[in-house]
A and B are shown apart, each in its own frame.
Chain A
């Protein structure tokens, strides 16, 4: 490889991050026809390549600031063709928040596919890997794009591939039903998002986020902007599973193959990312943004409480983790809502920025430990064939490594040291306390409540006397264990060295969200 070629790849890395999984997705079924099982290796190589590309984008953004990439331009950074004052091309705009989201998504997709090589049964054709790659394409495109229409396009790619994967086991009635429910709510949420995009286009005549944002903030807010803001916020809140729009979450997470559930949980975070992009970058200076901030805080507090108490009631292992995940979304919403409400407050620098850092750090952490919990649950289901907690018991004797890995994930979700969940939660408690002590109390109590069902799950699955019908089971296969070990290592490392993540990732990401002038300046 010549230095020119490497430089060409690095220059075009943002576009390649989307192109590589997209093209691979269509090659996989053909590959499967010709070379059979080697399609798994092909998918892993494609995902490894995507991971390297996303890493290169991530480090270039960390070192050099926000990157823009105009598709079809002679120079990728040329966002305004000569003679035009508004951007018309498809433009990718990647700041620290987009880059870290892309990196988290690519890493979990790679680990999930590594797990699924042994962990997902009935991968009869290339459909499974094709849909996984398409899901990653939708995710990376969604967080990297700088214009609204492509947000919608990638949102659809993400949703449709997710539906295919949720209903992957077509012989299971529940899986098909969960797929249908997810399809219905995705279609409705997308419709509202599209309507909002249409309103913004009619009002401002452009689709680029930076251009709309500048127009909205400089020329004042029209009622159409306000309605668009409400529609976008509601659509994204539904897709991130905020209470009371969370009903689809346990259905979809409960019925999809476990490797899919891990990446599906990250896909929900893409909606959170979009909510932050709209509320901070686009409408951050809107005088009534407090209404959206308080909507986030109220729905976040509800998610915390309802998620944790409903988690306690579950006897289905995957639904239990799904409800736990809803409560964790509540943490992120409360922290980011507090940050949004504090903009312009004299004490913003003291607690608002810290709340945002905590929220972003928790978003990253939540993706990894929830994936770890779902993959460990998958290992249990793989070995025993059941996810009913009443039927399980005494598995720690047969599956000690899986038990330890599940415990690491459970500790992180419960927010116990030294896991990453503790590190981000303590940042949220401290900063939110200064905003409103009651919110910190709700968050703390919910975190205690969510610990209880995780203890229940651990005791019911791994402790107690041996269950006769599971006397012949063995430890999880090595490929699956390796995937879970990687996630557990990330969970523990982020918990042991939280300062590095906060200082080099969460804080720059929070500052990028607040510095909307810099966001416009890259394009206009």
Chain B
């Protein structure tokens, strides 16, 4: 099967056209504005009107979740991976050079092995 990969001239086979996207976005925006216009005209903020309804419980005191607490579950699930990754990010320049030499060695070994097999 010839893998025909379309370019960006015209609309791609994937259906992507940036200008059509903008057009669709504009239509969605207009729908949102139209829906909003159905809202109550005399709405006033305050008295818990805009707060989430928490199954009849008293509204909680407002707390700001700090950035380092975001995605806590994700970090817990990947704890092992992150422990290893953080351990190798030592910040020591000696380690930086070590990894460079490691990569140079691997690359040269692969190339020299390739040459000997090819010859």
Residues of A within 8 A of B (CB): 180-181, 184-185, 188-189, 192, 223, 226-227, 229-231, 233-234, 237-238, 244-245, 247-248, 251, 287-288, 291-292, 295, 299, 306, 309-310, 312-313, 315, 347, 350-351, 354, 357, 389-390, 392-393, 417-418, 423, 426-427, 430-431, 434, 452, 456-457, 459-460, 464-465, 495-499, 502-503, 507
Contact = CB atoms under 8 A, between A and B. Distances in A.
Given A229-B111, A230-B107, A245 B100 contact: yes
Interface string B5-29: 1011110101010110110010000
A253 to B, nearest CB: 14
B66 A390 contact: yes
Given A247-B89, A452-B71, A465-B62, A230 B14 contact: no
B43 interface: no
A291 B111 contact: yes
B114 interface: yes
Interface in B36-80: 62, 64-68, 70-71, 74-75, 78
Contacts of B4: 350
A138 B27 CA distance: 48
15 contacts: A184-B96, A188-B97, A189-B100, A244-B99, A288-B118, A291-B107, A291-B114, A299-B103, A313-B85, A417-B21, A423-B18, A426-B16, A434-B5, A460-B70, A464-B64
A181 B118 CA distance: 39
A288 B67 contact: no
Given A389-B67, A495-B18, 13 more contacts: A184-B96, A230-B107, A231-B108, A247-B99, A288-B114, A291-B111, A351-B5, A430-B5, A497-B18, A498-B8, A499-B9, A502-B8, A507-B7
A185 B96 contact: yes
A434 B95 contact: no
Contacts of A234: 100, 103-104, 107
Nearest to B9: A499
A227 B108 contact: yes
A354 B95 CA distance: 37
B93 interface: yes
Contact of A315 (B68, B89, B104): B68
A503 B93 contact: no
Q: Is chain A's interface secondary structure helix, strand, loop, or mixed overall?
A: helix
A351 B111 contact: no
B67 to A, nearest CB: 3
A230 B2 contact: no
A442 B2 CA distance: 24
A503 B8 contact: yes
Contacts of B111: 226-227, 229-230, 288, 291-292
B70 A230 contact: no
Contacts of B2: 347, 350
Q: For chain B, give the interface size range.
A: 35 or more
Given A184-B93, A226-B112, A464-B64, A350 B103 contact: no
Contact of A181 (B25, B74, B81, B96): B96
A498 B22 CA distance: 14
A181 B18 contact: no
In this complex, the member of B16, B21, B67 whose beta carbon has the largest number of chain A beta carbons within 10 angstroms is B67
Nearest to B82: A313
Contacts of B71: 312, 452, 456
A313 B75 contact: yes
B32 interface: no
Given A426-B16, A430-B5, A456-B71, A496 B22 contact: yes
A392 B66 CA distance: 9
B100 A188 contact: yes
A350 B5 contact: yes
B99 to A, nearest CB: 5
Given A180-B93, A229-B111, A309-B81, A430 B103 contact: no
B21 A181 contact: no
A503 B9 contact: yes
B49 to A, nearest CB: 18
B110 interface: yes
A350 B5 CA distance: 6
Contact of B104 (A192, A223, A392): A192
Contact of B110 (A189, A295, A389): A295
Contacts of B74: 312
Contact of B107 (A295, A430, A496): A295
A72 B5 CA distance: 46
A309 B83 CA distance: 12
A309 B19 contact: no
Given A181-B96, A184-B97, A434-B3, A456 B70 contact: yes
Contacts of A299: 103
Give the 10 A-B residue pairs with the shortest CB-CB distance, closest first. Answer: A389-B67, A499-B8, A460-B67, A434-B3, A234-B104, A288-B114, A230-B108, A390-B66, A498-B8, A350-B3
B1 to A, nearest CB: 10
B21 A418 contact: yes
A315 B12 CA distance: 39
Nearest to B8: A499
